[in-house]
Amino acid sequence: MRQKFSAFAVLGLVGVPFVANAITIRDDVSDAASQAFAAQSQFQSVGRIGSGSGVLIAPNWVLTAWHVASGYVSNPSDAVFGINGGFYTGAEVYNLAPLGSNVNTVVTNGTDLTLIKLTTNVVGVNPAQLYTGTSEVGHTASAIGFGSGGSGTSGASLGAGVKRGMRNTIDLYVEPVPGGDPGDIQGSASRTNTFISDFDDTTAGHNQVGTADWLDLEGNVAGGDSGGGLFLEENGQYFLAGISSFAGWDVPPSVPYGYGSLSGFTSVSGNMGWIQNTINPVPEPATMFALAGLAAIVARRKRK
């Protein structure tokens, strides 16, 4: 039988009063080290959207979580992206999941994505490169987001609004439990658009999936990190592979977001078709026919 988990908490909701805190990290690593890691240049594309986070993926496009920004679709100008000391206003908002969808369903079925087109280009920041591979599980990844910090023992306990980072191993693809409650997930034998890591402390009691080994900056995501980026490194290049979506656990840890917790992410490459078509829409057939006709007329004139 596949192990079942509960994605108990989405990480920052527009219009919802419950907002949890942010990245927690192993006890023997300082909050300053988490902040310094997040400040490295390869993560400069991560900024803030409301109470959550977002990632610049083109000069005037931000990718974030549906549950963070879907509510801005009717008022795009309220979607303000803060990054590198500047603030940029939204012009258009596009949701992968339909507005009004059940949030627990969205965060677990791989559709927790929203794109925001900004009115102007972001200055002084290199957009993230997108991961196009098909094999996230087993990779070491870096999660970057905003919110408060904390440790595996204390849980999320420090002040919000600071950019922090952690590293973890992507352990498992997951899928909704057939016939289960919204938010229930189980391991999947095949690739899906949702994957998880767990917050280990080297003990079997807190190891939910994978091995009990921990990394130098082992941690977990929590509120304020939603919409932030999960980056994979390949050949010295960092690629945006996931968007932070939820946190949860199978067997509750001693504190929320502490050791034994899970981090859930929505796949970038698995939704690449939607991302590319939203940013660079393919013209309708009638439009393409008209453009082809115009090109033919121009070509004939040139020959005369």
Tens digits of per-residue pLDDT, 245-277? 998 766 666 677 888 888 999 999 999 999 999
- What integer pLDDT is reported at residue 257 of this predicted model? 83
Tens digits of per-residue pLDDT, 109-124? 999 999 999 999 999 9
Mean pLDDT in residue range 191-213: 84
pLDDT > 60? residue 170: yes
Q: Which pTM does this prediction carry?
A: 0.86
> What confidence category does residue 20 fall into, taking pLDDT thresholds of 50, 70 and 90?
very low
Q: Could you give the dihedral angle defined by the CA atoms of residues 115, 120, 123 and 129, in that order, rounded to the nearest 10 degrees? A: 30
Mean pLDDT in residue range 209-222: 85
> What confidence category does residue 213 fall into, taking pLDDT thresholds of 50, 70 and 90?
confident
- CB-CB neighbours of 75 under 10 Å: 10
> What confidence category does residue 294 fall into, taking pLDDT thresholds of 50, 70 and 90?
very low
Tens digits of per-residue pLDDT, 137-168? 999 999 999 977 888 887 777 656 789 999 99
Distance CA 273, CA 279 (A): 10
- What integer pLDDT is reported at residue 66 of this predicted model? 96
Q: In this structure, are strands 46-49 and 219-220 parallel, antiparallel, or unpaired?
A: unpaired
Mean model confidence pLDDT for the chain: 85
Tens digits of per-residue pLDDT, 60-108? 999 999 999 999 999 999 999 999 999 999 999 999 999 889 999 999 9
Phi, psi of 253 (to 5 degrees): -75, 180
- What integer pLDDT is reported at residue 210 of this predicted model? 77
Q: Comparing 201 with 115, which gets the higher pLDDT?
A: 115
pLDDT > 90? residue 22: no
CA angle 27, 158, 38 (to 5 degrees): 75
Q: In this structure, are strands 155-156 and 219-220 parallel, antiparallel, or unpaired?
A: unpaired
Q: In this structure, are strands 172-176 and 184-187 parallel, antiparallel, or unpaired?
A: antiparallel
* Residue 15, burial from CB neighbour count under 10 angstroms (0-12, 13-18, 19+): exposed
- Look at domain 4-279 and name its CATH class: mainly beta
pLDDT > 70? residue 133: yes
